[in-house]
């Protein structure tokens, strides 16, 4: 758990830079160009804390996911799998992968909130109204998403849903 948390702390600034670099495509902006320029931009505009925007929900999600995955894998390996099976080590590796997938599904809201907070009100069009509301904290973001029923938005490639009450250009019969 400590190693995972340390890795998250070290890599989160790069996650923030990557997310902001992707989000700038929404407004066709070029605010974040390359690693060094992005570091300077974030530090100049937000200080050192800008690199850690969205860190708390990401850490919580990682820790919960790790505990869930390992606990479920232990339960499956101990109580559900027969120890007489000749491919026991292979079965245990499969159970670890399946429980990891299950844990990541359950902790997806933490990833979503972390990603939204990393780009929240950072000066990019995609992190500001009308594309995204401005949140006061990650808890505020969580509450708004939960109230709207959007805690699982973006978690599926194939089964997409339109958030309740939103209007999109296809609803207005506009051509893109």
The neighbour count for residue 141, using CB atoms within 10 Å, is 22
Q: Domains in the chain: how many in total?
A: 1
Per-residue pLDDT, averaged over 73-92, amounts to 72
pTM of the model: 0.83
* Residue-level pLDDT at 157: 76
* Residue-level pLDDT at 60: 97
Mean pLDDT over each residue of the chain, to the nearest integer: 87
Q: What is the DSSP letter of 127?
A: G
Per-residue pLDDT, averaged over 11-40, amounts to 95
CB–CB of 155/108 below 8 Å?
yes
> Which tokens in the block code for residue 59?
């850490």
Per-residue pLDDT, averaged over 138-147, amounts to 96
Per-residue pLDDT, averaged over 135-163, amounts to 87
Q: Calculate the CA dihedral of residues 135, 112, 159, 171 and round it to 10 degrees.
A: 20
Position 175 pLDDT exceeds 50: no
* Residue-level pLDDT at 29: 94
* Residue-level pLDDT at 176: 42
Position 168 pLDDT exceeds 80: no
CB–CB of 169/130 below 8 Å?
no
62 is in which domain, residue-wise? 1-173
Helix residue ranges, H only, 24-155 = 35-46, 55-75, 88-106, 108-119, 138-148
């Amino acid at each position: 758990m400590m190693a995972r948390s340390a890795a998250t702390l070290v890599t989160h600034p790069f996650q923030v830079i990557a997310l902001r670099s992707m989000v700038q495509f929404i407004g066709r902006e070029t605010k974040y160009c390359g690693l060094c320029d992005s570091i300077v931009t974030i530090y100049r505009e937000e200080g050192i804390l800008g690199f850690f925007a969205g860190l708390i929900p990401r850490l919580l999600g990682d820790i919960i996911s790790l505990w869930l995955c390992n606990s479920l894998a232990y339960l499956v390996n101990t109580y559900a799998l027969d120890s007489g099976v000749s491919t026991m080590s292979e079965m245990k590796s499969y159970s670890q992968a399946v429980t990891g997938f299950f844990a990541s599904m359950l902790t997806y809201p933490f990833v979503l909130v972390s990603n939204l907070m990393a780009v929240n009100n950072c000066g990019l069009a995609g992190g500001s109204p009308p594309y995204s509301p401005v949140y006061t904290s990650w808890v505020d973001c969580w509450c708004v998403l939960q109230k709207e029923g959007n805690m699982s938005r973006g978690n599926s490639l194939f089964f997409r849903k339109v958030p309740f009450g939103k209007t999109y250009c296809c609803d207005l019969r506009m051509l893109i």
